[in-house]
Amino acid sequence: MSGIAKVLLNNGIKVSGSDISESDTVAELRADGAEVFIGHNAKNITNQALVVYTSAVKDDNPEIVAAKEKGIELIDRATMLGRIMKNYKKAISVAGTHGKTTVTSMLAYIMIKAGLDPTVMVGGKLDGIDGNLRIGKSEYFLTETCEYMRNFLKFFPTAAVILNVEADHLDYYKDIDDIIDAFHGFAMLVPEDGFIAVNGGSKNAMKAVGGARAKVCTFGFENADFTAEDISFSRYGYPSFEIHAEGEKLFDVTLSVVGIHNVLNATAASLAAFKMGIDPKCIKEGLEAFHGTKRRFEKKGFVNGALVIDDYAHHPTEIEATLNAIENIDHNQVWCIFQPHTYTRTYNLLGDFAKVLSRAGNVILTDIYAAREKDTGLVSSRQLAEKIDGAVYIKDFNDIADYIRKNAKEGDIVLTMGAGNVVDIGGLLVD
């Protein structure tokens, strides 16, 4: 929401809003000219022309109720973002179950290197744009798109990237076929003169683009229009590889982010940039300038000589990618502190979580981060811990920090993982 607010402020529109507590984001918005209230209150709704809300805001929210009573137009965040996109001739949307933030960030670096001066909205904090928003002055708009509640169907992309399509958000979607159908609807939004860069190795993603009006181009490790080849890793886990276009080498590149999944992400960004007409030299420079986003395999410091890493992974596939990345780094033991995200995701994917977390060696589970949900007793982190040999459940973050200090040793890796406030544990461990 803060990104949308800043774009509106930049266009001379008066903006007010509310949040549950003070934060750096609130301070930034006030500095930019927004009026921000702390706490949701009907009194905050006066004579606004429009009220924008997120999916987390319920119908009984006092500000929603007040807006309805006053006859003020109400729209959700996705609809508002779609309205903004319509003002740009070239709007690139990055979609997928995993990797959206990283690929959007890579593309942002590439487009900036190429001098395209894009407006960028990304789901994480990116050093290269000093936050989650960059306001450019060109016809280019770049954003990641969320499939939850079919929100991305409210967008107006002229080009798209589809990274993967997997089972997630099963509190909303019926099954994987329902999810594929949603992504198909998204693919159909791209006009005939646009393009869709899609993961050729994802069967579900390829199903989603079937019948698309736009030109479909594939990326992957083999049998694709764009491929990553001759891949190797440094002792620190950083990959070096070649990007090939239809069998011809374009350039070689070394990333400053770890993992084979980021090789694939870089290949996706390279294909999209190439289809935009960006010179391969700029693509290479952009990828090599990218050093990751906040909460994506972010190195926080050390405790007892053990490296502390924080990662946003909260789906079994993402966890597997993170653990695979760690295997390419010289280390002794891994201490994985995982906070599941939402009860429905944990319940529906309980077996998958248990299977992949079992690879970590030493697993510490803390309570499920509820996000938009309520605890009905459906599932708990204790249940997940019971399915993983040697796993322990610890509720309190301070107790987790004490446990790590007693057990982690030099050469180990301590991994805090999840989409909730598990990131705070790193602050308790690292001086």
The residues carrying an active-site annotation are 100-101, 144
pLDDT in tens, 138-181: 999 999 999 989 999 999 999 999 999 998 998 889 999 999 99
Residue 248 CB coordination number (10 Å): 7
Q: Which residues of the chain fall short of a pLDDT of 50?
A: none
Query: What is d(CA 242, CA 254) in angstroms, rounded to the nearest whole number?
Result: 9
229 three-state secondary structure: strand
pLDDT in tens, 264-281: 999 999 999 999 999 999
Query: What is d(CA 78, CA 52) in angstroms, rounded to the nearest whole number?
Result: 9
Beta carbons of 314 and 345 less than 8 angstroms apart: yes
Which residue type, as a one-letter code, is found at position 37? F
Res 124: pLDDT:
81
Query: What is d(CA 234, CA 224) in angstroms, rounded to the nearest whole number?
Result: 26
298-429 domain in CATH 1.10.443.10? no
2-77 domain in CATH 3.40.50.720? yes
Task: State the DSSP H helix or E strand holding residue 318, giving kind and residue range, or none if neither.
Answer: helix 316-327
Query: What is d(CA 222, CA 218) in angstroms, rounded to the nearest whole number?
Result: 10
Res 428: pLDDT:
96
- What residues does each domain of the chain span? 2-77, 88-289, 298-429
- Average pLDDT over all residues of the chain: 95
Res 371: pLDDT:
87
Res 163: pLDDT:
98
How far the first Cα of the chain sits from its last, in Å, is: 32
Contacts for 237-245 with beta carbons within 8 Å, 24 or more apart?
237/325, 237/326, 237/328, 237/329, 239/263, 239/328, 243/267, 243/270, 243/280, 243/283, 243/284, 245/274
Write the CATH number of the domain with boundaries 88-289. 3.40.1190.10
